[in-house]
Every structure is written in C-alpha cells, then in structure tokens.
C-alpha cells in the first residue's frame, strides 16, 4: 500500500509539472480584466461634469435660488468643502487614461478607446476643465505633485496663478497633439468628434483668459485672442440627461420628494421689471399667482425673499420653483453656452482686445442676449426680445458697458452656478446684499471655499505653506484673479 501511495505521488507530480504552463490561464478571470477599458474611465469622468453644472451652493451665493426651509446653505454655514473626491475619481480616471496611452507596454492594449494621441488630448482637456473649477473655488491646490498615488501622499500646493498658466499650456498642447486618428470612445458629450473637442478646449482657454482680465491683462488679452482665432464653439455645449434614474437631471432628483429651492425675489423682481421673458423658463408659476390659463407669464412668477429669516413660514403655493426647462428629468444643462461666449467677446471688444471697439461690442452683446433667450426657448417671433433690448438699462452704452455685460452674464448663467459665482466675483456686479443672518465669520457672501479639515491633519506642511502664501483659510480670502 505504501509503495502504491508513493507511486501515486510521483505520477501526480509528473502530471502537475507537465502542465505547469497552463497555470497562467487558470488564474485569469475573463470577467475582471487586468487592464481597464479607457472608454469606461472617460465616461465616468465626464459624468462628473454634472456635479459642476448642477451644484446648488454657488447658485445660493449669486442669489439665483433661495432656500425654502432649511436655509443654512443660503446663510453660508459651510466654510470648508472637500476636494478629495475630484482627485480620487474624475482626475484619477483621466490621469489613468493618459498613463495607459503613454506607457509603451500598455498603449497598444487601449486603442479601443480611440487613438492614443486623441485619448490623451481629451483627458488633458477634461483635467483642465476640472482643475479650473477647483482652483476658482479653493485657490492654491495640489497640482504638479498631485495624482501620484503612493509615490506622494503629501503633495505640495501650487499657486492658483501658476495653475492658470499651466492650464493654458495644457489646453494648447492638447489641441496640437490631436492626430486625426480614431476619435475617443465613451464620450457622450461630443460623441468622439475631435473637431468639437478642439473648439471646446479653445473655448475653455478663452474662459480662463478672460478670468485673468484684471490680474494679468496682457496675458489675458494674448490668450483670449489666440483662443478666439483658433476657433471656439458655435453651439451650446449641453450635458445630455436621460429620462431614467441612472442618468437623470440632478434638479429633477432634488424635487422628487422635496422642494428645497425656489427662485429668489432678487432675480425674479429684477427680470420682471425689464419684462425679461427668460423668467418664464427659469421658474414655474407660483400656484397662488397662476391664472390657470396654461401659459406661464411673468406675472405668474413669484420669487422667495432671499433675505428672509424664516423661509419656512412661506408656503409652497406662494413661491415659484425652478422651471421644467431646468429640472425635467431629461432637461439638459449647459456646460458652456453661446450666451457666455458672445458676452465674453463683447467684453473683449469693449476692452479693445478685438477689432471694432464698442461698435463690435454692441453687436456681440446683443447676440449674447439673443443666444440666451434662444437657449431658454423664449424668443418667439422676436417682438418681446426687441422690446427687452429697447430698455434704457439694457441698450448697450459704452460708458456703462462693463456693468451691463456683467448683469447679462449674471442672468444668462442661471443654472451654471460656479461659473456665475466666478464671474460675479470678478466683475463685482450686480450688487448683492448678503443674507442678514449669515452664519459665516465675515457675514459676507463667500468669495472662496475653505480647504477640507483633513488637509491640515494629513498634509500639514503643504497646507500650512499654502495658507501662509495665500491668506487665511476661510471664505473671505480672495483668489488671485479676484482683485
């Protein structure tokens, strides 16, 4: 028996060693590939755009929306905001796309996501998009040393000024490296159209350049003109939500069981005074004001007092909530609108950056307003638009051009809170009165977001250096371009 057992062990060993080349196949799980598909990473990162354009906090800052019951957000209770999610998800996914398409050992395995060069270009553009939003919120940020994983758990902070300079470089280089090959897959914004990606990148550069208008006028002018000449968008860039739970509009989701946000009296009353028909798309009729004729009229819209101490005392029937054009389940939200681009060009013309001066500025200003009315579907036969443009406060006047452009941007950027907040900070118009019951230290509308508390604990040296260079880590310290 013992001899038989020994013989069995020997035979088993022979079989095992004879088939040792098959071990690799046994340990491969076809349902869990070792190399991630880059098109899935791109899709996931693009979904993060919804969190930018659908945010509620900045809309409260610029007094587009008011809080109906729990009004801590409208009273600026939160000073510190966490930025780690952007690094761990969207930015990490985009950096992984770049790494996989750059590494000689992996670049041939990820071409299902598009040509290597085009994938890298799009990832660089979207990194610039997210970093721009982030540095406008926090100022100094981990940037050049970020996204290194275990190689660097304590990345240094870069100044927002240096980040701006690098974002411009990244966007120009991204467009330059597009190779005419297969467009990117996993792209639900432009469906892999690289020409549209190039124009989007140029438009982002135009936006970034204009933000520097007061902080670095010469560079701002140079880059604005360069981006414009390179070719910017000619249609609104939309985030396409779907009539399904997994991909629905965030405003729709907020209103499924709650009614936390109403349009403000600040915005509604100002627009109503100018007979601005966009108001009928911005908000639904207040039930108590609705005449029941099935047509939304300006008189049907009632804004909630932004400065009220107890909004809970106001019933839902008394105020207007954001309109279906913004909060239907599949209502798209603008990532960048033609209204924004035209008004940016109007400002550039007024500043003397592009030919024609105020004559050109007046034309572009009118086109920007018309683009905004068209975006919200209220143009009609043009009669109401013409009447709006004839208002003394609206008709372009060179001596008051900056305030007029700033006001129109404030109105046109409804629904795109972070961009509205940034432009309001830069242009300081219109004049907005802070909530009288503000919960923050300054008692003023925030001009910056504070860093997450984890940074002072887990990245203390870098955090301390950033605060020392930038200023107090609170909502009252201005970012570099807001001077």
Q: What is the DSSP string of 229-252?
A: HH---SS-EEE---SSGGG--HHH
Question: In terms of domains, do 217 and 101 share one?
Answer: yes
Q: Are residues 184 and 258 in the same domain?
A: no
475 close to 453: Cβ distance less than 8 angstroms = no
pLDDT of res. 22: 42
Domain that holds residue 320: 247-327
Cα dist from 432 to 86, 101, 264, whole Å = 30, 47, 12
Contacts of 105 by beta carbon, 8 Å cutoff, 6+ apart: none
The pLDDT of residue 25 = 45
Angle formed by the axes of helices 338-351 and 401-412, nearest 10°: 170
Q: How many domains does the chain have?
A: 2
- Given a cut of 50, whether residue 8 has pLDDT beyond it is no
Taking only the tens place, the pLDDT of each residue in 155-172 is 999 999 999 999 999 999
Give the pLDDT confidence of 339-397 residue by residue, as tens digits.
999 999 999 999 999 999 999 999 999 999 999 999 999 999 999 999 999 999 999 99
Same domain, 154 and 291: no
Q: In this predicted model, what pLDDT tens digit does every residue of 186-202 receive, in sequence order?
A: 999 999 999 999 999 99
Out of 273, 301, 327, a domain closes at 327
The percent of residues above 70 in pLDDT, for the chain, comes to 93
For a pLDDT cut of 90, what percent of the chain falls above it? 91
- 66 has which bridge partners? 262
Per-chain mean pLDDT for the chain: 93
Q: Do 130 and 159 share a domain, yes or no?
A: yes
Q: Return the pLDDT at 16.
A: 36
Over the range 72-111, which residues count as b (16 or more CB within 10 Å of their CB) and which as e?
A: ebbbbeebbeebeebbebbbbbbbbbbbbbeeeeebeebe
Asked if the model's pLDDT at residue 323 lies above 90, the reply is yes
pLDDT tens per residue across span 57-93: 999 999 999 999 899 999 999 999 999 999 999 999 9
Q: Are residues 45 and 123 in the same domain?
A: yes
**Residue 317 lies inside a defined structural domain of this protein:** yes
Distance CA 252, CA 261 (A): 12
Whether residue 389 is contained in a domain is answered as no
Domain co-membership, 47 together with 166: yes
What is residue 1's predicted lDDT score, i.e. its pLDDT?
Answer: 38
Answer yes or no: do 83 and 212 share one domain.
yes
Of 330, 342, 324, the closest CA to residue 236 belongs to 342
User: Is 203 inside a domain boundary?
Assistant: yes
User: Do 119 and 216 sit in the same domain of this protein?
Assistant: yes
Contacts 24+ apart (CB under 8 A), 313-319: 314/68, 316/68, 316/259, 316/287, 317/286, 317/287, 317/288, 318/286, 318/287, 318/288, 319/68, 319/262, 319/263, 319/286
Tokens describing residue 281 = 């798309």
What DSSP string describes 304-349? Answer: BPTT-S-GGGS-GGGS-PBPHHHHSTT--EEEE-HHHHHHHHHHHH
Q: What is the three-class DSSP state of 197?
A: helix
Give, for 189, the enclosing helix (H) or strand (E): none
Give the CATH number, domain containing residue 54: 1.25.40.390
- For 398-430, what is each residue's pLDDT tens digit? 999 999 999 999 999 999 999 999 999 999 999
Query: Contact at 8 Å (CB) between 479 and 135?
Result: yes
Yes or no: say if 449 and 421 are a contact pair by the CB < 8 Å rule: no
Pick the closest to residue 271 from 225, 320, 307 (CA basis): 320
How confident is the model at residue 34, as a pLDDT? 59
pLDDT of residue 235: 98
Examine the fold and report which residue of 327, 342, 376 is the final residue of a domain before the chain moves on. Answer: 327
Query: 180 and 130 in one domain?
Result: yes
What does the pLDDT read at residue 35? 74
Do residue 313 and residue 165 come from a single domain? no
Query: How confident is the model at residue 321, as a pLDDT?
Result: 98
For residues 49-60, give the mean pLDDT.
Answer: 98
User: Measured between alpha carbons, how far is 140 from 10 in angstroms, rounded to an integer?
Assistant: 67
Structure tokens at 280: 């009928």
Q: What angle (nearest 5°) sits at the alpha carbon of residue 337, between those of residues 333 and 343? A: 145
Task: Look at residue 15 and tell me if it is in a domain.
Answer: no
In a domain, 455, yes or no: yes
Give the end of a domain, one of 327, 351, 383. Answer: 327
What global pTM score does this model have?
0.92
Say whether both 57 and 173 belong to one domain. Answer: yes
């Amino acid at each position: 028996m013992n001899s038989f057992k020994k013989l069995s062990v020997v035979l088993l060993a022979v079989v095992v060693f004879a088939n040792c080349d098959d071990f690799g196949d046994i340990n491969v799980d076809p349902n869990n590939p070792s190399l991630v598909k880059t098109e899935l990473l791109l899709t996931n990162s693009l979904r993060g755009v919804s969190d930018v354009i659908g945010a509620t906090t900045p809309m409260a800052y610029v007094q587009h929306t008011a809080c109906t019951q729990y009004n801590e957000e409208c009273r600026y209770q939160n000073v510190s905001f966490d930025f780690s999610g952007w690094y761990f998800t969207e930015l990490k996914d985009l950096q992984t796309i770049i790494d996989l398409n750059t590494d000689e050992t992996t670049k041939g395995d990820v071409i299902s996501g598009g040509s290597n060069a085009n994938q890298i270009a799009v990832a660089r553009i979207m990194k610039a998009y997210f970093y721009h939003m982030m540095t406008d919120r926090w100022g100094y940020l981990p940037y050049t040393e970020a996204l290194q994983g275990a190689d660097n758990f304590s990345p240094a902070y870069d100044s927002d000024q240096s980040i701006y300079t690098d974002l411009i470089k990244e966007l120009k280089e991204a467009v330059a490296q597009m190779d005419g090959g297969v467009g990117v897959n996993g792209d639900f914004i432009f469906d892999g159209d690289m020409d549209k990606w190039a124009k989007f990148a140029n438009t982002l550069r135009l936006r970034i350049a204009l933000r520097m208008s007061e902080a670095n006028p010469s560079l701002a002018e140079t880059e604005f003109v360069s981006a414009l000449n390179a070719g910017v968008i000619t249609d609104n860039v939309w985030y396409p939500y779907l009539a399904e739970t997994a991909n629905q509009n965030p405003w729709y989701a907020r209103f499924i069981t709650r009614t936390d946000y109403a349009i403000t009296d600040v915005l509604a009353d100002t627009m109503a005074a100018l007979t601005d028909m966009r108001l009928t798309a911005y908000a639904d009729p207040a039930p108590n004001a609705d005449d029941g004729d099935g047509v939304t009229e300006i008189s049907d819209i009632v804004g909630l007092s932004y400065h009220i101490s107890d909004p809970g005392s106001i019933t839902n029937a008394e105020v207007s909530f954001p309109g279906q054009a913004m909060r239907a389940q599949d209502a798209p939200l603008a990532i960048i609108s033609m209204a924004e681009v035209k008004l940016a060009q109007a400002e550039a013309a007024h500043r003397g950056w592009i030919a024609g001066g105020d004559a050109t500025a007046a034309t572009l200003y009118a086109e920007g307003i018309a683009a905004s009315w068209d975006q919200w579907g209220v143009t009609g036969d043009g009669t109401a638009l013409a009447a709006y443009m004839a208002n003394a406060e609206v008709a372009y006047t060179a001596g008051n051009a900056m305030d007029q452009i700033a006001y129109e941007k404030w109105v046109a950027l409804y629904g795109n809170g972070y961009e509205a907040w940034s432009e309001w900070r830069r242009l300081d118009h219109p004049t907005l009165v802070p909530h009288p019951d503000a919960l923050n230290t300054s008692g003023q509308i925030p001009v910056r977001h504070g860093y997450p508390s984890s940074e002072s604990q887990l990245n203390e040296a870098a955090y301390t250096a950033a605060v020392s260079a930038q200023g107090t880590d609170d909502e009252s310290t201005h970012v570099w371009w807001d001077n």
